[in-house]
Structure 1
Amino acid sequence: MWGRLQTRDRLRKRGLQVESNFPLCGLEDETANHLLVQYSYARRCIVELNRTLQISPQLTDLESLGNWLHKPTAGRFKCPVIQCMYAAPLYNILMQRNSAVWQGSIKHYNKVVQQIKTEVWMRIQGVMPKKVQDKDKDWLRQS
């Protein structure tokens, strides 16, 4: 999945003449790993979500993130919720990158995190099974 993102490093490999630096920080080359895991904005979003979910995975790159997401780390209810919570920031971080490139603006990471929480909460409410343990419902409400 990560190899499909049209980051500048991939565009250059295809022969396109684009700058290689990451447009949001200008310090590193734009790679999927930098955009979604190593960039300070992405890290802040993920730290906030970890705090919300009361988890603390050690994620250093996309490979470790992918491996962690595919390992069942919680119960049958929590695991898909956590996966959804991590898919949402990846999408939203990519959208903020595009907004910075095309509109010259980016939302504060706290607003993005709040948007992610709202989106995920609404999606989960729509598909939540009828038989969910009370402790899982409480965990979700606190998130």
Structure 2
Amino acid sequence: MKLKKNWKPIIDRFQAKLSAWKSKTLSFGGRLTLIQSVLGNLPTYFLSLYVAPEGVIQTLERMRNRFLWGASKEKKKIHWFSWDTVVAPKKAGGLGVGVWNNIAGIRKDLLSKEISVHSVLSKISTANGATWRSELSPNGIYSVCALRHRWDYRPPNADGNFTWIKEVPLKVNCFIWRARRGRIPVALELSKRGVILESLTCPMCNEQDEGADHVLVECRYAKQVFEGISRWCKVNTADCQTIKEVEDSVSQLGLGHNRSITLLAVYFGAFWSIWKSRNARVFNKNRIPPDKVIDMIKSATYIWVKNRGKFGRFTWATWSQCPLDF
């Protein structure tokens, strides 16, 4: 099994799974779930029996990478984040996809993570004879869990921690995670990646270039939406100029954990609805009035929190008055 050609049945099986699940029929969150659960576990049995050549690991990772971003061998798509960011744990600012490792080259891989083999497991002579000790655990006992935690460690993200909310659909969480870093297909970001556009101006206000923070927060259209949401929630985010500032402000405004999560869910829904309205304007030439967008946010977030949350029972009448009153 040292030759890549011996792994062809595994690679073909992997490719067949990818073909069966057309990436264009799934949202970003759906593709993320698929490569984490189904595709991530597909070759596990074979990898537990045989040492995979480095070329095989790279081929499988490229296939997962292309599928996540909706690309294929025939059709290229923009990869908005490096694969290293995608596989990083969520606590480190990634998506927590995980990665397969070439066990044959573990020493080289450990060094690339600044982990010495000696710290993982070393032989120590004692009065009672030789014993093994790991510096990764406080008790000196080696565990796969301790090594995994050390392997997954990433320096603190300059963008700050992102709050993943289970009351909000995964595709919406992923969108906000990308938008905070400006990695959504707005005009400025597309132009940076070589996409030729007729104009970089925001299609919602026609006043400034379209960036992620502008179209979702600073744009006159977005501000009208947030004014209505702020009156509904009885909070104020008028001074916020970026997506991160809105998230941080809302997290501090909620009184108690449940209310903070509820308020964040509402504002995540606002970002998502504004983006959908922007897409309707760009692709269908349809301008949705801000009042209608506010109604969309109220109904969508009511369904999300009602069916996904565990904050107790509440009615539409209570929710429509203020989402923090139930």
Same fold (TM over 0.5): yes
Counterpart secondary structure, 1:114: helix
Deviation at 1:20, TM superposition (A): 1.2
Q: Which residue is equivalent to 1:11?
A: 190
Deviation at 1:118, TM superposition (A): 1.1
User: Which structure 1 residue ranges, 5 or more long, are not aligned?
Assistant: none
Q: Which has the larger radius of gyration?
A: 2
* Structure number having the greater helix percentage: 1
1:75 aligned residue (256, 265, 272)? 256
Q: Which has the larger displacement, 33-42 or 62-71?
A: 62-71
What TM-score does the superposition give when structure 1 sets the normalisation length?
0.84
2:310 aligned residue (129, 134, 137)? 129
Q: Map residues 87-102 of structure 1 onto 2, 5 A cutoff.
A: 87-102=268-283
Counterpart secondary structure, 1:4: coil
Q: Which residue is equivalent to 1:50?
A: 230
Deviations 1:79-111 (A, max 9, x none): 111011001111111111111111111211111
1:107 equivalent in alignment to 2:288: yes
Q: Map residues 22-61 of structure 1 onto 2, 5 A cutoff.
A: 22-57=202-237, 58-61=239-242
User: CA 1:77–1:139 in 2, change beyond 3 Å: closer, same or farther?
Assistant: farther
Q: Which has the larger displacement, 18-27 or 112-121?
A: 18-27
Cα RMSD between the aligned structures?
2.3
- Structure 1 runs of 4+ off > 3 angstroms? 69-73, 138-141
User: Which structure 2 residue ranges, 5 or more long, are not aligned?
Assistant: 1-177
Identity %: 20
Figure out how many residues of one structure are paired with residues of the other and give that number: 139
Bigger RCO (CA 8 Å, 6+ sep)? 1
